[in-house]
Each structure stands twice: as C-alpha cells, then as structure tokens.
Amino acid sequence: MIDAKDREIIEALQGGLPLMPAPYARVAERLGMDEDALLFRLAELKSRGVIRRIAAAPNHYKLGMTSNGMTVWDVQNDRVTELGTQIGALPFVTHCYERPRALPDWPYNLFAMVHGADRDEVEEKRAEITAILGDACRAKDILYSTRILKKTGLRLKAKG
C-alpha cells in the first residue's frame, strides 16, 4: 500500500519525469521535500514493485510497427505455465498472459501480443508460436487492432 506522501510523489510523476539535468531536484522542489528524501522514497517504491521501471514508452506506430496482433490460444491447462514462459521469452512478444476463458464464446486462455511492420510479418511470427505450442494448442485466433480508441495510462484520481 502507499501512504499520502507516496501518493503525492506518484501524482507529481505520472505525467512523466522532467527532461532536464537534475529532474528529481525539480520534482522534489515542487513537492517541498529534499532531493535525497525523494530518491529514497522512489527507491523504496521500486523495491516494493509500485514502480516497475523508469523508462520511455515508444509509439509503435511512429516506429513503423504499424501492425499489432493480439494472438490468443486455447492451451491445455496443465501445460500453460511451461508454454507461456517459452512464448513470453520470444523477442517479438511484448506481453504474454494467462487469462480465464469465457466459455462458450471465448475458449482462449493464453494471450500474446505481437507487433510487426505489416500483417505478413505478424503472421510469420504467429506461425512460430503455433509451432512451439504444437499439440497442446486446441484452438487459436488473432485480433488485429484497427484503431487506438484511448491511451492514457494509469491516472490517480485526485483525493481531497
């Protein structure tokens, strides 16, 4: 869990880290705290997994990765951990999760996001996944994204 000070820090940083030589000094000043104290708090948030990493989120579309396929698979329950680990390690898979099925409409329990320059490239990569899953996979599908409808990331609601 997070306390009120952590919350202030998260709110101050959710828009991003300032692009200037001493970014934490600037954020600390805004929060009325010392830079050292801020860095200490951030290190603690990181060790607890509240902050996963401090990094850039690239825009796939602008990088020419215009095709994005959510590949979905119905994998035998007793093999999903072993196979999910293998699929998650593929260099072209950016996210890989086991999720519950929604029967009868949705038999798929393994989701792997694949990006490529076009659909042919995504299909080639998908064929590699098909080969790895082999007999353990009973059904599969791919859902291409045709439009980004919203992308804001996590936003804390202002609390009084």
Partner 1 sequence: MRLDETDRAILNRMQDDLPLIPHPYAAIATELGIPESELLHRLSRMKEERIITRFGPFFDAAAMGGAFCLCAMAVPVENFETVLTKVNAHAEVAHNYERTHRLNMWFVLATETPEGIEATADAIERETGIEVLRFPKLQEFFIGFRVAA
Kindly state the smallest distance separating residue 129's Cβ from partner 1, in Å: 12
Ramachandran category for residue 69: left, alpha or beta (phi over 0 → left; psi -120 to 50 → alpha): beta
Of the pair 14, 127, the CB lying nearest partner 1 is at 14
Return all residues near 139 (Cβ < 8 A) that are at least 6 apart.
73, 74, 107, 108
Does 89 help bind partner 1 (rule: CB under 8 A)?
Answer: yes
CA distance 127 to 93: 13
Of the pair 32, 153, the CB lying nearest partner 1 is at 153
Interface with partner 1 (CB under 8 A), residue from 8, 24, 121, 128? 24
Cα dihedral sign for 128, 133, 137, 143?
Answer: negative
Interface with partner 1 in residues 108-127 (CB under 8 A): 109, 111, 115
CA distance 140 to 75: 9
Kindly state the smallest distance separating residue 154's Cβ from partner 1, in Å: 5
> Residues 45-84: x/- map of binding to partner 1 (CB under 8 A)?
-x-xxxxxxxxxxxxx-xx-x----x---------xx--x
